[in-house]
């Protein structure tokens, strides 16, 4: 066969291979051209009958044919095999992959990490306590009077055996002090539960971060200094903080701790209800009665404590207007909060 004819033969072979719609049809093309008694061996055989001048060129074309056809058949076989799998299983392995995207940390987890990180720098470590608490740890040991309204069934989820879902992270203070001697410097993030009617700012299940520092001569000045440092690192250097007198049974004196409103800078707006301040946390000096309760001597050691709402901080920091968004698990919402 003349070199030019071999080229034409190659074109025909490739066209047939391209058109083969099944693996069987493709195999037939292979046998017809490349099989032992196929057209290509015949061409090879015929090379010796060509004039010597044409032989090398014809030989090259014959090799080309073999290589190109072998490669094409292989490629098409793969495609057809995939199609068969797709037909049988509904799974097309030749389809481009679908991008699933990475998960992100929940805004609540982010706040917990940010807050713990800041307190780590001040030498605090993380402590933990159970969500199902005893009445003793959640109320009694924290000097909460027996008739205090927070114990009421309208406020607390009581379990049948007399235990309860903790209404605050403060019982972790008791558990830590029961099991260690001062100096103690812990923060305790975790879930809390109250029988609250759910609305834009209330949830029956929410999170707090408790802090406790007990040592010789811990003072209110230290509490104020540490919470101010914390505020600047969480909200930025321009934030101002304010401490107001308050009452909690487990601290004496007790305070409430506010940030200047980050939206209006303190001038007064809808977010801060025109006051210029946003309430962040309860705090105070650990009540000597609580220290005595866990076997510490209030004449030797003193302490400060605080407890802040995580959702509240998340809402302020990220500008979230409805607490329920944090629990809906709507990807479109959660995706907006970076990594
Ligand atoms: N446990 C209090 C609450 O849920 C918050 C709190 C106030 C915690 C003062 C404290 C504290 O440790 O000292 O309202």
Atom of ligand 1 nearest to the CA of 282: 7
Residue 199 pLDDT more than 90?
Answer: no
Q: Does 277 sit in the ligand 1 pocket, CB within 6 Å?
A: no
Distance 309 CA to ligand 1 centre (A): 9
> pLDDT, tens digit, for every residue of 292-309?
999 999 999 999 999 999
Residues 166/160, Cβ–Cβ less than 8 Å? no
Q: Which of 142, 190, 250 to mutate to test the pocket of ligand 1 (most atoms within 8 A of CB)?
A: 250
Residue identifier of the C-alpha nearest atom 12 of ligand 1: 306
Burial 243-266 (b: 16+ CB within 10 A, else e): beeeebbbbeebbbbbbbbbeeeb
Q: Which H or E run includes 210?
A: strand 205-215
Tell how far the Cα of 332 is from the centroid of ligand 1, in angstroms. Answer: 34
What pLDDT band is residue 339 in, cutting at 50, 70 and 90?
low
Cα 231 from Cα 240, distance rounded (Å): 8
Kindly list the distances between the CA atom of residue 38 and the CA atoms of 2, 28, 285, in Å, as whole numbers in the listed order.
Answer: 17, 10, 97
- Where residue 268 falls among pLDDT bands split at 50, 70, 90? confident
Model confidence at 50: pLDDT above 70: yes
Q: What is the pTM of this model?
A: 0.72
Q: What is the pLDDT of residue 180?
A: 96
Ligand 1 touching residue 168 (CB < 6 A):
yes
Taking the centre of ligand 1 as the mean of its atom positions, its distance from the CA of residue 149, in whole angstroms, is: 15
Q: Is the CB of 311 under 6 A from ligand 1?
A: no
Q: State whether the beta carbon of 171 lies less than 6 angstroms from ligand 1.
A: no
Q: What residue's CA is closest to ligand 1, atom 5?
A: 307
Instruction: Reply yes or no on whether the pLDDT at 82 is more than 90.
Output: no
Q: What is the pLDDT of residues 213-257, one digit of tens each?
A: 999 999 999 999 999 999 999 999 999 999 999 999 999 999 999
Q: Where are the domains of the chain?
A: 3-88, 107-337
* Helix (H/G/I), strand (E/B), else coil: 52: coil
Residue nearest to atom 10 of ligand 1 (CA): 306
Q: Which fold has domain 107-337?
A: BirA Bifunctional Protein; domain 2 (3.30.930)
- Phi (first) and psi of residue 4, to 5 degrees: -60, -40
């Amino acid at each position: 066969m003349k070199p030019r004819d071999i080229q034409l033969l190659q074109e025909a072979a490739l066209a047939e291979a391209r058109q083969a719609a099944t693996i069987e049809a493709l195999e037939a093309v292979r046998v017809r051209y490349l099989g032992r008694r196929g057209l290509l061996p015949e061409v090879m055989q015929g090379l010796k009958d060509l004039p010597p001048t044409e032989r090398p060129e014809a030989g090259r074309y014959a090799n080309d044919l073999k290589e190109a056809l072998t490669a094409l058949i292989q490629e098409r076989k793969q495609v057809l095999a995939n199609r068969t799998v797709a037909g049988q299983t509904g799974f097309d392995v030749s389809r481009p992959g679908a991008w699933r995207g990475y998960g992100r940390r929940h805004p609540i987890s982010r706040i917990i990490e940010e807050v713990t990180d800041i307190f780590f720098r001040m030498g605090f470590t993380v402590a933990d306590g159970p969500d199902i608490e005893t009445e003793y740890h959640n109320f009694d040991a924290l000097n909460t009077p027996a008739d205090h309204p927070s114990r009421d069934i309208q406020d607390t989820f009581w379990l049948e055996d007399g235990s309860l879902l903790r209404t605050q992270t403060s019982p972790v203070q008791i558990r830590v002090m029961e099991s260690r001697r001062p100096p103690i410097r812990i923060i305790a993030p975790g879930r809390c539960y109250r029988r609250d009617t759910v609305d834009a700012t209330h949830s029956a299940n929410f999170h707090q971060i408790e802090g406790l520092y007990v040592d010789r001569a811990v003072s209110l000045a230290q509490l104020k200094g540490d919470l101010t440092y914390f505020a600047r690192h969480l909200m930025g250097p321009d934030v101002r903080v304010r401490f107001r007198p308050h009452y909690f049974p487990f601290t004496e004196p007790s305070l409430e701790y506010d940030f200047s409103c980050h939206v209006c800078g303190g001038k007064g707006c809808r977010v801060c209800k025109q006051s210029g301040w946003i309430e962040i946390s309860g705090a105070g000096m650990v009540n000597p009665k609580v220290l005595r309760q866990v076997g510490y001597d209030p004449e030797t050691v003193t302490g400060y404590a605080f407890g802040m709402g995580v959702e509240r901080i998340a809402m302020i920091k990220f500008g979230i207007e409805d607490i329920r968004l944090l629990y809906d698990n709507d990807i479109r919402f959660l995706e907006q909060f970076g990594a």
